[in-house]
Chain A
């Protein structure tokens, strides 16, 4: 027991703690505790009323027991009783117990809140502080509800003591963090901001934390704090080390407040007011200058406090990213720290330089420290410092130093700590891809990576490599040759490469491959089986050998169901399918659609959002774009690469049906997850491999889509992350036209997203089902859709919001209810927004295929009726006519199907000329019925049509005529 027991030492408590400490075993401790609990319980239950001191002592013992890690299920009431004691120390213990052990017992919360209310209104500053501390420590929603409106008043009232103001400010901050909706600053805003001018440094120190938090959420309302913060900072920075008395810490004036002021300024852009900005730049320069001055004390506290301000100032300089002079000075300062004897400073310098590396002004300056950083990676004894060094190397990497950095990282990988290997592997893979100038270097690097750290190479990495190899004709030869050679010597680590990249004489090749088969894991064997069937397709001479392999028991009766199924089905496929069928089924996959690197995504996932900045992403795309531009491409790929094209998507899709001419060049596994993901829409029943195969190879055929990849419609690098819906896509009308005569199909598709539609209409009502499919392997966040109708009250479209998260590969559905109020021309707009990895917002607008003809009711009528009505609609504006060239087949059945799809009745025996088509229908709107007659006269010889429409409403004639002219 310590000799000194200050203040209100509680002897009984000290004895108890002593006993516990003397316990020789856990059991003895538990026994002693149970004895004490029984004792306290009996005291609390006893007939004799306990005095305040005893109550306090027992409550304190309970608290001690709880903090030892034992459960406490009583004593709360006694603690609450202590709150209303007028003895400070009793109250204090009561509040401490409540703060540590509060549970949401509603009865108690009411009593506690009552006690707090009393103390807040007691005008006794020490009681008020205790009550505020309790609110800040508990910070529950109930407390926010009870006190959030009261505390701002206490904070700004003229007669509040300084110490109470300090507690009130931080108490409010805690409530704001728990329940921002309940803390409304409103009228208090300006007075709170002016606390920055308070004479009491402690008040400013406490208030600035609150102001910083509020500024982050409502920057506009609090922006007056910028000039106040700058002048406060300026006064501190220029003060002598003794001016601030007790707020000077080891000769550094107000280090905490200085850091917080600099932090607050990071919530805002550089000050617009020239004078304010000048003053701030002066402060920052002074801080940088002070770093060069000899230290006023040798104590580490002095240098820590001084450097804390310096690092915060550098953060602000990086945040502004607009003062090249300051940025370079900051970089030089950090450069000095890189070789400092204090490990902490080296660590922070590496970390801070990482952000500096992304500024265009200081990137080059950072690069000059490459040797020091490489040295740090090799020699630092602390893994967390080495990790920072690796991060910095990654951040400073560009075309000029990529080979050096990748080589260093690879050699570090040989000895790297297990904890950071996987991340290092990802980084090497990303850098190798991003800065690959020649692809042999890329392939060598990746092979090295697999050799050195095979166990840490995640699936994403090799998927990505295969994607790249597949999409680059010029790298395939080298990749295949290298892998083949490696395969001869070191097979075990490269299993996954086998199935994809091959060359050489077919049988030799096959035998080599198959000789390693038994060494491979199940997934690799599955890939190999797929490779075998492709052998049969490409090199018929191998057929007999391979069939024999497939037929043997170890394949066809394999205990693994996947392998067995592949063996059985491939064997069957190879024996019953004709060479044509085989060639079609096993046709080369089109290149992978452009999409974000899966390994970049993986790294981001590992490091959490924000770890890989958007600029970095854009940067990688830009780099890749240049690379593609310079790369040697075939004559058929002269199309301009999109600005966001990365290593993928540099080749336009292989023409449909083009046979694989470059035999043996490359084989793609159809089952690997890295293949294009196409959504079966509506969901196709996939029963067997035989159905699956053609879908994999000819998704577009099965789904009725065009194989040409959509251009990148909203490149993430150029689209501003605006909240406003994007204007409709240029091809929105074209997409819309596809649906004039049909109700179901795929409305839109690009590399990320597929939108399918099913719709049905009755009278003036319609229902549309939208299916949004995420084609990528990563989640879409903040997914939202909005439907807007141009024109006033013509259509009424109602929808429920969709789920904001769409998982990779998932499809979500949305139902729209549509009502036609009156006739209309413009289709409703569908805006879709989502983001990937919290990155650039995707924003696209399409036209929903709701056209006026959807509300047609077919009308059967006789020839005489038809002509009678035709004549009635004889005013010139009621008729619309167009003569146009045929764009599609003029086949009778096709035409009939389209006209029926239009929604009208197709009338036989009306027109004297049997070649012509005549239709009638009534458009149902909410308030009106519009009769429409149609005549379509094909001229097969001239490949022309004449289309005439007569409707009871002129606008409808015109609109229908426009729509239909696109259909034939």
Chain B
């Protein structure tokens, strides 16, 4: 996977993860272009499209679009399920996740993603194992700095 973008129906970028080195300018350009392309598509259309020399796999969950760019030989359907598993992880962690959770706890969304995908490849697909790693971090926080909340 080359990158993953989360954006709202209004086109606001909520999360961006880049697995290939690109300049900030290029990232902004890609984001603008893709957000526009994906938002213009109708609900019943297929979840895959060719874009530059990449394949875009996207899915909408409530107000959020999850959008991944994969390479030619990568599998579209399994990428769709990568997205779904990530949504499940967020959902499990936040409890009925909504867009606001991701806005206010953006750093958590990044941490969960890092436990699940690393360098653009699946690192751990077990929901239990990913959440264990994240909760451990939360626990370690409570044990050290409860007093600061």
A residues with a Cβ closer than 8 A to B are: 1-2, 4-9, 11, 14, 17, 21, 52-53, 60, 63-64, 67, 69, 87-89, 92-93, 96, 126, 129, 132-133, 136-137, 139-140, 163, 166-167, 170-171, 173-174, 177-178, 201-202, 205-206, 209, 246-247, 249, 254-257, 259-260, 263, 266, 301, 304-305, 307-308, 311-312, 343-344, 346-348, 381-382, 384-385, 387, 608, 610
Given contacts A5-B105, A9-B149, A344-B48, contact A209 B81 (CB under 8 A): no
Q: Which of B50, B53, B104, B121 contacts A1 (CB 8 A)?
A: B104
Nearest opposing residue in chain B for A64, CB measure: B106
Q: Which of B16, B28, B119, B128 counts the most chain A CB atoms within 10 A?
A: B119
Q: Is the Cβ of A93 less than 8 Å from the Cβ of B108?
A: no
Nearest opposing residue in chain B for A302, CB measure: B81
Indicate with 1 or 0, residue by residue over B101-128, a CB within 8 angstroms of chain A CB atoms: 1011111101100100011111111111
Q: Is the Cβ of A60 less than 8 Å from the Cβ of B94?
A: no
Nearest opposing residue in chain B for A97, CB measure: B107
Task: Output the least CB separation between B139 and chain A (Å).
Answer: 9
Q: Which of A9, A67, A346 contacts B46 (CB 8 A)?
A: A346
Q: Tell me, in angstroms, the Cα distance from A433 to B86 when the chains sit together.
A: 49
Q: Tell me, in angstroms, the Cα distance from A385 to B44 when the chains sit together.
A: 12
Q: Which of B45, B77, B110, B138 contacts A96 (CB 8 A)?
A: B110
Task: Output the least CB separation between B102 and chain A (Å).
Answer: 10
29 contacts between A and B (CB under 8 A): A1-B100, A2-B104, A6-B93, A6-B105, A7-B142, A8-B138, A14-B104, A17-B104, A53-B145, A53-B148, A96-B111, A126-B133, A129-B133, A166-B118, A170-B121, A173-B119, A174-B119, A202-B124, A202-B125, A254-B125, A256-B125, A305-B77, A308-B80, A308-B81, A311-B76, A343-B46, A347-B46, A382-B44, A384-B46
Q: Which residues of B contact A132 (CB under 8 A)?
A: 118
Interface residues in B, total, Cβ within 8 A? 64
Given contacts A21-B103, A249-B85, contact A6 B49 (CB under 8 A): no
Given contacts A126-B136, A308-B78, A312-B75, contact A205 B122 (CB under 8 A): yes
Nearest opposing residue in chain B for A380, CB measure: B46
Contacts A88-B144, A89-B137, A201-B125 known; list 12 others, CB within 8 Å: A7-B142, A60-B107, A87-B141, A92-B107, A174-B118, A174-B119, A209-B121, A266-B73, A312-B75, A312-B78, A343-B44, A348-B76
Q: Which 9 A-B pairs have the closest CB atoms?
A: A7-B138, A308-B77, A174-B119, A209-B121, A308-B78, A170-B118, A246-B126, A343-B46, A382-B45
Q: Is the Cβ of A381 less than 8 Å from the Cβ of B114?
A: no
Nearest opposing residue in chain B for A169, CB measure: B123
Given contacts A136-B118, A256-B125, A384-B48, contact A89 B81 (CB under 8 A): no
Nearest opposing residue in chain A for B147, CB measure: A53
Q: Is the Cβ of A8 less than 8 Å from the Cβ of B141?
A: yes
Q: Is the Cβ of A139 less than 8 Å from the Cβ of B137?
A: no
Indicate with 1 or 0, residue by residue over B28-65, a CB within 8 angstroms of chain A CB atoms: 10000000000001101111111001000000000000
- B residues 75-97 near A (Cβ < 8 Å) are 75-78, 80-82, 84-85, 93-95
Q: Which residues of B contact A249 (CB under 8 A)?
A: 81, 85, 125
Given contacts A166-B123, A382-B46, contact A305 B78 (CB under 8 A): yes
Q: Which residues of B contact A256 (CB under 8 A)?
A: 78, 81-82, 122, 125
Q: Which residues of A contact B100 (CB under 8 A)?
A: 1-2
Q: Which residues of A contact B107 (CB under 8 A)?
A: 60, 63, 92-93, 96
Q: Is the Cβ of A206 less than 8 Å from the Cβ of B123?
A: yes
Q: Is the Cβ of A202 less than 8 Å from the Cβ of B114?
A: no
B10 within 8 A of A: no
Q: Which residues of B contact A201 (CB under 8 A)?
A: 125-126
Q: Tell me, in angstroms, the Cα distance from A256 to B110 when the chains sit together.
A: 21
Q: Is the Cβ of A136 less than 8 Å from the Cβ of B119?
A: yes
Q: Is the Cβ of B123 less than 8 Å from the Cβ of A255?
A: no
Q: Tell me, in angstroms, the Cα distance from A194 to B16 when the chains sit together.
A: 34
Q: Which residues of B contact A96 (CB under 8 A)?
A: 107, 110-111
Q: Is the Cβ of B80 less than 8 Å from the Cβ of A344?
A: yes
Task: Output the least CB separation between B124 and chain A (Å).
Answer: 5
Q: Which residues of B contact A2 (CB under 8 A)?
A: 94, 98, 100-101, 104-105
Task: Output the least CB separation between A570 and chain B (Å).
Answer: 47
Q: Is the Cβ of A89 less than 8 Å from the Cβ of B141?
A: yes
Q: Which residues of B contact A384 (CB under 8 A)?
A: 45-46, 48-50
Task: Output the least CB separation between B99 and chain A (Å).
Answer: 10
Q: Tell me, in angstroms, the Cα distance from A246 to B89 when the chains sit together.
A: 13
Nearest opposing residue in chain B for A245, CB measure: B126
Task: Output the least CB separation between A509 and chain B (Å).
Answer: 47
Q: Which residues of A contact B138 (CB under 8 A)?
A: 6-8
Task: Output the least CB separation between B1 and chain A (Å).
Answer: 10
Q: Which residues of B contact A246 (CB under 8 A)?
A: 126-129
Task: Output the least CB separation between B135 and chain A (Å).
Answer: 8
Q: Tell me, in angstroms, the Cα distance from A129 to B95 when the chains sit together.
A: 25
Q: Which residues of B contact A205 (CB under 8 A)?
A: 122-125
Q: Is the Cβ of A347 less than 8 Å from the Cβ of B48?
A: yes
Task: Output the least CB separation between A49 and chain B (Å).
Answer: 16
Given contacts A87-B145, A384-B50, contact A126 B75 (CB under 8 A): no
Q: Tell me, in angstroms, the Cα distance from A67 to B77 when the chains sit together.
A: 29
Q: Which residues of A contact B75 (CB under 8 A)?
A: 259, 263, 308, 311-312
Task: Output the least CB separation between A614 and chain B (Å).
Answer: 17
Q: Which of B119, B133, B140 contacts A89 (CB 8 A)?
A: B140
Q: Tell me, in angstroms, the Cα distance from A841 to B87 when the chains sit together.
A: 48
Task: Output the least CB separation between B118 and chain A (Å).
Answer: 4
Nearest opposing residue in chain A for B12, CB measure: A68
Q: Tell me, in angstroms, the Cα distance from A384 to B104 when the chains sit together.
A: 36
Q: Which residues of B contact A174 (CB under 8 A)?
A: 19, 118-120
Task: Output the least CB separation between B48 and chain A (Å).
Answer: 6
Q: Is the Cβ of A255 less than 8 Å from the Cβ of B78?
A: yes
Q: Is the Cβ of A7 less than 8 Å from the Cβ of B119?
A: no
Q: Is the Cβ of B28 less than 8 Å from the Cβ of A69?
A: yes
Q: Tell me, in angstroms, the Cα distance from A636 to B98 when the chains sit together.
A: 79
Task: Output the least CB separation between A458 and chain B (Å).
Answer: 20
Q: Is the Cβ of A608 less than 8 Å from the Cβ of B126?
A: no
Given contacts A304-B80, A312-B75, contact A206 B104 (CB under 8 A): no
Q: Which of B105, B110, B123 contacts A167 (CB 8 A)?
A: B123
Q: Which residues of A contact B108 (CB under 8 A)?
A: 6-7
Q: Tell me, in angstroms, the Cα distance from A6 to B102 when the chains sit together.
A: 12
Q: Which of B28, B94, B119, B121 contacts A4 (CB 8 A)?
A: B94
Given contacts A137-B114, A347-B46, contact A92 B137 (CB under 8 A): yes
Q: Which residues of A contact B93 (CB under 8 A)?
A: 6
Given contacts A87-B144, A381-B45, contact A348 B119 (CB under 8 A): no
Q: Which residues of A contact B140 (CB under 8 A)?
A: 87-89, 126
Nearest opposing residue in chain B for A299, CB measure: B84
Q: Which residues of A contact B82 (CB under 8 A)?
A: 256
Nearest opposing residue in chain B for A6, CB measure: B138
Q: Tell me, in angstroms, the Cα distance from A312 to B119 when the chains sit together.
A: 22
Q: Which residues of B contact A133 (CB under 8 A)?
A: 114, 118
Given contacts A209-B121, A305-B81, contact A381 B94 (CB under 8 A): no
Q: Tell me, in angstroms, the Cα distance from A151 to B50 when the chains sit together.
A: 36
Nearest opposing residue in chain A for B15, CB measure: A67
Nearest opposing residue in chain A for B100, CB measure: A2
Nearest opposing residue in chain A for B56, CB measure: A384
Q: Is the Cβ of A344 less than 8 Å from the Cβ of B76?
A: yes
Q: Is the Cβ of B104 less than 8 Å from the Cβ of A88?
A: no
Q: Is the Cβ of B45 less than 8 Å from the Cβ of A173?
A: no
Q: Tell me, in angstroms, the Cα distance from A201 to B128 when the chains sit together.
A: 13
Q: Is the Cβ of B128 less than 8 Å from the Cβ of A381?
A: no
Q: Which residues of B contact A304 (CB under 8 A)?
A: 77-78, 80-81, 84
Q: Is the Cβ of B48 less than 8 Å from the Cβ of A307?
A: no
Q: Which residues of A contact B105 (CB under 8 A)?
A: 2, 5-6, 9
Q: Which of B95, B114, B136 counts the most chain A CB atoms within 10 A?
A: B114
Q: Tell me, in angstroms, the Cα distance from A569 to B46 when the chains sit together.
A: 60
Q: Tell me, in angstroms, the Cα distance from A48 to B26 when the chains sit together.
A: 40
Q: Tell me, in angstroms, the Cα distance from A257 to B121 when the chains sit together.
A: 11
Q: Which residues of B contact A382 (CB under 8 A)?
A: 41-42, 44-46
